[in-house]
Structure 1
């Protein structure tokens, strides 16, 4: 009995060790060539406080083709980023989960976090030469890409992720940062029939290109994580849907009108037939 207990205990211990090893296993991501700086927008977003300071901010630029999303971080004195791809629930492991990686940064101890500094960084044409490592791991079915920089930096970090190809986007928000989602031109969210953002964003505005921009701000709940989902649709979708409903109702009205007229004609014909039958009966009686 004791021997069996020992064997069971050893097997359980091996299972725990094996599971822990799988959970913590990391895969290094190697990017062969520098990303294309000109493919990104580097907006200088300032928070809404009275002193308009720069803070850690992530902006997701959703593209019209739905298959990719561009991500731009404003980082202030940061040496590590956790990146959650849109397929966070799948936990799959592609060969190139992150593409077109760009960094326009400077060492934090030499770079002042103000709009002027970020404006200079945004005008650079070549990516910064700061050493970094990218690793990917799957923990309890959730994929995480870890970006670790050689030293704390301040500036912009940008990359491109694969998206689902549907007009729906989900991501994990760290409660300690500002998060923005910029929808493609001609697309909006907020209609409960066609799609909304959950949880509700702190503000909804339009940028100079007419794109709807959603903002979530940090709260006082600490460094918690929250899943945000945005379902969006073409701006004309509600109008087209309303037009389709009107056309459908008009068609139903025509059918009902035709039915009503046909019914009256049938009733009129039936009345004539009834009169003829009565007339024939009277003629027979006379004979």
Structure 2
């Protein structure tokens, strides 16, 4: 009887190990997928003045949407890591991105002046999963000087990016939002530049943070939140002082009454 139970337990353990091992191998094996061409117009492509350089720009929106734009310079491929979607907006199945746009310049120069000089190119997309993150590989039909853009989803109030290559990293906060408060959290690592654009959006810029740093993490909040919290804190402080003074006076009155009662007893 005991031997039979032990055999069943051993068999169950072997089955679980087999499934777990297969799952791990499967998650590390790149899966090639087909993705429809996305809408170029939803992205804010900024053609730099002068030479094209590697950069990654992330436009963060209040509806838990992040739009990523990578510049690719003289390369046949791009590899990125997309963090696990904790917003609950999308299914965990698949690469975790949509609205993919890959465009290349029509000429051979790496100096551009107009986004209309770029056009869609043939490409392959594959992905694998590791520790909940999506590792996505974009293979181009030829070496390109262009853009790779896609949309993914992340929890509001936070931005998290796993660095996979060197280059400038820009994080653009939603209009009316800020970061950098000691109370609500500082960006990690500290950005090299913080500026305001013509749409009153804050740009956080890191100059070549990789390989010194492995990730970028930003907590952002409504610009008015520190003021509101300061006002609430002041109200609580005043209320605490008033309460303390009130109870102090009440205790003093009770002591006096007790002294009077004690004198009457004598």
**Do these two structures clear the TM 0.5 threshold for a shared fold by scoring above it?**
yes
Aligned to 1:285: none
Correspondence for 1:36 among 36, 39, 43: 39
Structural RMSD (CA): 3.0
Task: State the alpha-carbon separation in 2 of the partners of residues 152 and 224 from structure 1.
Answer: 28
Counterparts in 2 of 1:135-146, with a 5 A limit?
135-139=126-130, 142-146=133-137
Check whether the contact 2:83–2:132 (CA below 8 A) recurs between aligned residues.
Answer: no
Number of the residue aligned with 1:12: none
Pick closer, same or farther for the CA change 1:141–1:58 going to 2, 3 Å: same
Give 1:88 shift: 8.9
Number of the residue aligned with 1:247: 235
Once the two structures are TM-superposed, the CA of residue 169 in structure 1 deviates from its matched residue by: 1.8
Tell whether the 8 Å contact from 2:82 to 2:133 is kept in structure 1 after alignment: no
What residue in structure 1 maps to residue 11 of structure 2? none
Structure 2 residue aligned with 1:270, among 234, 258, 261?
258
Counterpart selection for 1:59 from 57, 75, 100:
57
Give the whole-Å Cα distance in 2 for the aligned partners of 1:196 and 1:260.
40
Distance 2:237 2:45 in 1: 48
In 2: Cα distance, 1:70 partner to 1:229 partner? 16
Structure 1 residues 20 and 247: alpha-carbon distance in aligned structure 2, compared to 1, 3 A threshold: closer
Q: Normalising by the residue count of structure 2, what TM-score does the alignment of the two structures yield?
A: 0.79
> Would you say the 8 A contact 1:173–1:179 is kept in 2?
no
Alpha-carbon separation, structure 1, partners of 2:59 and 2:178 = 13
The size of the alignment, in residue pairs, is 243
Compute the TM-score of the two structures, normalised by the length of structure 1. 0.73
Contact 2:95-2:134 at 8 Å conserved across structures:
no
For 2:6, the equivalent position in structure 1 comes to: none
Runs of 5+ unmatched residues, structure 2: 1-17
Larger radius of gyration: 1
Alpha-carbon distance between aligned partners in 2 of 1:147 and 1:105, rounded to the nearest angstrom: 13
Q: What's the offset of the Cα at 1:86?
A: 2.1
- Preserved CA contact (<8 Å) 1:59 1:73: yes
Q: Tell me, which stretches of 5 or more residues in structure 1 are unaligned?
A: 1-14, 47-51, 279-287
The secondary structure found in structure 2 opposite 1:102 is strand
